[in-house]
Chain A
């Protein structure tokens, strides 16, 4: 199936731990994104990579570090997890030309920090 897939779907971890979320898209898109959705359902962009190059880096703590080994993958590593990091993290992708047709989102990773 052509899609944006994220792993894991659920992640429960203790404060202070380091964790990674992986994202892969097989749509042939050039640009990938990480969004965070808080408890009030507000989706806010965190990072954007275009063909492995970082082009958007919103005001996100340095504990969050994206890595793009190739244009089909964008992983998110989080160091020293805090309670406030609990949220749903969505990966998305879009073509460079035609991004006005919208982004394709993964199904999300629900992170709970205890």
Chain B
């Protein structure tokens, strides 16, 4: 079983829809939670990050973390065709010897259709 589980999709929604993307994790050592967006043939780019349980909003994007349930979500409001990409949840654990490690979910492919 992977440390981070994410539904691979694909997920297809009409323009303007609210999109909900989710991940569950098993490692209690994860301390920081992120969402990356990856367009086709590009590198992942950081979309949002959060540390504590609760919600964090940035424009049309809201990241939600529930540490007690080991569950994180990303909501996209008023989705646009330009949001079509693969969304990867990612989590950082701090290593005992120093440094840190970023572990990714498998990614959810999202397509927003006109």
Contact = CB atoms under 8 A, between A and B. Distances in A.
B98 A55 contact: yes
* Residue picked from B31, B38, B86, most chain A C-beta under 10 Å: B38
Interface residues of B, number: 30
A112 B5 CA distance: 28
Contact of B98 (A4, A44, A45, A50): A50
A94 B97 CA distance: 17
Interface stretch (A12-20, A79-87, A95-103): A95-103
A99 B41 CA distance: 25
Interface string B100-112: 1111101101000
Nearest to B109: A41
Contacts of A41: 8, 38, 86, 106-107, 109
17 contacts: A4-B43, A31-B100, A41-B86, A43-B107, A45-B101, A45-B102, A55-B97, A55-B98, A90-B43, A96-B99, A102-B49, A102-B102, A104-B46, A105-B44, A108-B42, A108-B43, A110-B41
Interface of B: 8, 31-32, 34, 36, 38, 41-46, 49, 51, 86, 88, 90, 92, 95, 97-104, 106-107, 109
